Homo-oligomer: A and B are copies of this chain.
Amino acid sequence: MRKIDVEQIDNMAIGAAVLGTGGGGNPYIGRLMAQSAIRTHGPATMIDAAALADDDLIVAVAMMGAPTVMVEKIPAGNEVVVAFQMLEEYVGQKFAAVMCGEVGGLNSVVPFALAATLGIRIVDADGMGRAFPELQMGIPAINGARATPMAIADEKGNGAVLNTISNKWTENLARQLTIEMGCSAMVALYMLTGKQCKEWAILGSLTKVEEIGLAIRAAHAEHRNPVQAVCDITGGSLLWNGKISDIQRRTEAGFARGEAFIDGLGDYAGQQLRIAFQNEFLIAQTDDRVVATTPDLITMLDAETGEPITTEDLRYGFRVAVLGIPCDPRWRSPIGIETVGPRYFGYDIEYVPIEDRLTAAG
């Protein structure tokens, strides 16, 4: 058990955006929300999943929608609490703790806002070990966990509870509500028992993102290369160095979709890397080869500061380093690849683990 105060949130928001692979929501806004709640209500209490009783009931909370929208349509702050409490009321039971649905700038720290506000514990775990754009995408889900009953709330005071026949239906219905609510909303979903959390969640992931954030700051302080520091702590590899030369971005079907084009610099001069995204970075390829694909993590860092760049912050002219980080091995199962592999997102590309792609590329 550990108290998480405003300083830890600083580190976590940055580290989480590294694993968020462009998505998971704006870390700056998430940080403001979590720190504001902690300043008002005191630090949040983080526990290991091992501290849960097997029959405890916990739930994940997250932002749903297009991260590009949330930077303009700022949350009111209490909608995550409303969603959480709507679900508690619906199931007629208090939750023993909250967890993160995914890691990702905002979605790793917003649960701390809830935990601080309500004085409930937050589990050091998440459901993906990265961020993904759709609700049915999670390690608990591919093991059979149900997203519903789930609650959704907007900043105006509208809310709903969904009960569906599949997690894909939950995604489809909740996405339409999210779009109508203005393209961003807060959700409480994937109720798990303590036992299920211990078996299915990615354990220790919040501590991990905190360590990544700390590593970036330490590299700054010690004048070391922060990109290398991120590679070291995440097990990632440098895939590309370059300058963003074009971005095509649209808010479509409730997502931020598009492509970023990165003209190579140094070893990569004369070539261009294209990164396709749907909230998260999904596919990185040049004209003649696929460099990395979902579910492995494609992460873009500011080449100078090592700070992660999320989808909504992509800008022409940014000097960036692109990393590839191996995903949680459970994503590499047949059902994992079916759920979040390149073909699910419409790309006719075979999934090959990033390590193998790097070896093949020499």
Contact = CB atoms under 8 A, between A and B. Distances in A.
Interface stretch (A153-161, A262-270, A346-354): A153-161
B86 A163 contact: yes
Nearest to A178: B176
Interface stretch (A20-28, A122-130, A164-172, A243-251): A164-172
Which of A158, A159, A160, A173 has the most B CB atoms < 10 Å from its CB?
A160
Which of A163, A165, A172 has the most B CB atoms < 10 Å from its CB?
A163
What is the total number of copies of this protein in its complex?
2
Interface in A172-200: 172-173, 175-177, 179-181
A290 to B, nearest CB: 33
**Number of chain A interface residues as a range:** 20 to 34
B156 A163 contact: no
Contacts of A173: 158, 160, 177, 180-181
A136 B172 CA distance: 25
A162 B173 CA distance: 12
A345 interface: no
Nearest to A166: B158
A90 interface: yes
A157 B148 CA distance: 13
A90 B158 contact: no
Contacts of A176: 176-177, 179-180
A164 B157 CA distance: 7
Contacts of A179: 176
A316 to B, nearest CB: 35
Contacts of A169: 156, 158
Nearest to A163: B159
Interface string A86-114: 10001000000000000000000000000
Contact of A162 (B160, B163, B175): B160
Contacts of A177: 173, 176-177
A157 B161 contact: no
B161 A160 contact: yes
A164 B158 contact: yes
Which of A162, A172, A175 has the most B CB atoms < 10 Å from its CB?
A162
Nearest to A175: B180
A180 B161 CA distance: 16
Contacts of A159: 162-164
A156 B164 CA distance: 9
Contacts of A157: 164-165
Interface in A194-253: none
Interface of A: 86, 90, 156-165, 169, 172-173, 175-177, 179-181
For the complex of A and B, 9 pairs with smallest distance between CB atoms: A176-B176, A157-B165, A176-B180, A158-B164, A161-B161, A160-B162, A159-B163, A160-B160, A158-B169
Given A156-B165, A160-B160, A161-B161, 9 more contacts: A158-B169, A159-B162, A159-B163, A159-B164, A172-B180, A173-B177, A173-B181, A175-B180, A177-B177
